[in-house]
């Protein structure tokens, strides 16, 4: 039985490739550790809740609370991974953006996007696709989506019609 050894050239190329790969991996670990010290996204405080809309029913409130409140209220529940950068940065950006567009717990302030809730749900723009895999309870059935659309009309005032394309 004859043993065939790889040529020296192939072995050397593999050795160099592995060294480069290990260096990249080491730097990636160092960067992953260092970014944990960036303070953005680690302070998980909720501002005071001042006022909610006059909900038409407890069911509407429960559905909107379950599906929307993590980003669109001052009652955000921050999951464990919200302390790990860079996920913490993305989550903080989404919560800040959601609160600035529509905040269900600051109803004493003008909410210019309140009229868009039904259309956002109808078009599938809310909730974002990347939110649902980690928040299974926020998933709405077709019937629940219709209840949110109907409840938004009754609770939040006249809803905007379809956008003209």
Reply yes or no on whether the pLDDT at 20 is more than 60. yes
Query: 145, 93, 156: which is closest to 120 by C-alpha?
Result: 145
The pTM assigned to this predicted structure is: 0.77
Domain locations in the chain as residue ranges: 8-37, 58-156
Of the pLDDT bands very low, low, confident and very high (cuts 50, 70, 90), residue 1 is low
Q: Report long-range pairs for 23-26 (Cβ below 8 Å, ≥24 apart).
A: none
Question: How high does pLDDT run on average in the chain?
Answer: 89
Instruction: Write out the DSSP string of 15-61.
Output: HHHHHHHHHHHHHHHHHHHHGGG--TT-----PPP-B----S-HHHH
């Amino acid at each position: 039985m004859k043993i065939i050894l790889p040529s020296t050239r192939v072995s050397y190329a593999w050795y160099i490739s592995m060294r480069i790969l290990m260096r990249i991996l080491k730097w990636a670990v160092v960067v992953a550790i260092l970014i944990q010290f960036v303070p953005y996204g680690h302070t998980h405080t909720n501002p005071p809740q001042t006022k909610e809309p006059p909900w038409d029913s407890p069911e509407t409130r429960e559905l909107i609370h379950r599906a929307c409140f993590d980003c669109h209220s001052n009652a955000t529940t921050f999951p464990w991974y919200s302390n790990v950068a860079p996920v913490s940065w993305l989550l903080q950006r989404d919560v800040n953006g959601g609160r600035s567009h529509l905040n269900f717990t600051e109803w004493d302030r003008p909410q210019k996007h309140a009229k868009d809730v039904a259309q956002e749900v109808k078009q599938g723009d809310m909730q974002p696709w990347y939110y649902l895999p980690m928040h299974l309870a926020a998933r709405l059935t077709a019937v629940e989506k219709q209840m949110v659309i109907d409840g938004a009309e009754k609770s939040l005032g006249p809803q905007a019609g379809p956008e003209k394309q």
